[in-house]
Amino acid sequence: MKNLIKLVNLQREFAEVKAEVLGAIESVCEQGSFILGENVERFESEFAALWASKNDKRAQRVKTILYVGRLDDKQKAVSNLIKSFKNVVEQAPQVELRIVGEGFDRPLLENLVEKLGLTGKVHFVGWKSGKELAECYLSAYLFCLPSRRESYSLVITEAMTAGLPVVCSDLPALRDRVVNGVTGLTVNVDNIEELSKKLLLVINNEEYASQLGANAKKKIDETLVYSHKQFVQVLKRVAEQK
């Protein structure tokens, strides 16, 4: 009898919890899409002023290539980006490279910049977050990720959300978002010459760059809506299981 009473109580508790979960899911549905625990609508509202000024800055600023990530050259291959940037600057001297992040390879990369005569053109700015990171994205001309391997790469999603054209390595983990010639440009891993050409293609063609950026943002917006719906359906199925 005692075991039966415990079982009944457990079933009642489960029913109450399930009702709370379903209620929470419906609340999420009403509030809007979420990604990685953050409300996208809240994010866009918080940086609305920065976003509104993006197009105005585009015509005025020096064209900046942006990299965001760890300075771990074995995986991220930032040295390849710096070497490619050397080729870019020779044909487009107005371009600068901003490197956001920290890591044990920073001294090595700073030495490479000095060796290639790029001091003053390559800027190491350390880690950024919040509005400072948003400003880095929204003030850049394009985003580059020359990695040798990636598991997902949140920074690609962030850059595309900011409407940046993306030039990145052709990696399986990035192909769900970066479609070559549509939402960005991809290059073979460790191909410095190809990377240089793709960067120059975007730099020298502002209309093409804008189209890639618009396509990138649209891709992420559509992915967020789809992912949100799928996430809600999974939670509902779990909550409704006995």
Task: Please count the structural domains in the chain.
Answer: 1
pLDDT in tens, the chain (242 residues): 554 444 445 445 545 545 554 554 454 444 444 444 344 454 455 455 555 555 555 554 579 999 999 999 999 999 999 999 999 999 999 999 999 999 999 999 999 999 999 999 999 999 998 888 888 999 999 999 999 999 888 899 989 989 999 999 999 999 999 999 999 999 999 999 999 999 999 999 999 999 999 999 999 888 765 455 555 555 556 556 65
Domain interval for residue 203: 43-222
Alpha carbons 100 and 68: distance in angstroms, whole number: 5
Burial call 57-95: b when 16+ CB within 10 Å, e when fewer: ebeeeebbbbbbbbbebeebbbbbbbbbbbbbbeeeeeb
pLDDT tens per residue across span 150-204: 988 889 998 998 999 999 999 999 999 999 999 999 999 999 999 999 999 999 9
The pLDDT value given to residue 131: 84
* Residue 138 is assigned to a structural domain of this protein: yes
Residue 221 Cα distances to 102, 133, 165, 218, angstroms = 29, 20, 15, 5
* CATH code where residue 106 lies: 3.40.50.2000
* Residue 87 is assigned to a structural domain of this protein: yes
Alpha carbons 72 and 6: distance in angstroms, whole number: 55
* Residue 107 is assigned to a structural domain of this protein: yes
Alpha carbons 50 and 1: distance in angstroms, whole number: 65
* Residue 101 is assigned to a structural domain of this protein: yes
Alpha carbons 51 and 131: distance in angstroms, whole number: 11
* Residue 200 is assigned to a structural domain of this protein: yes
* Residue 161 is assigned to a structural domain of this protein: yes
* Residue 76 is assigned to a structural domain of this protein: yes
* Residue 188 is assigned to a structural domain of this protein: yes
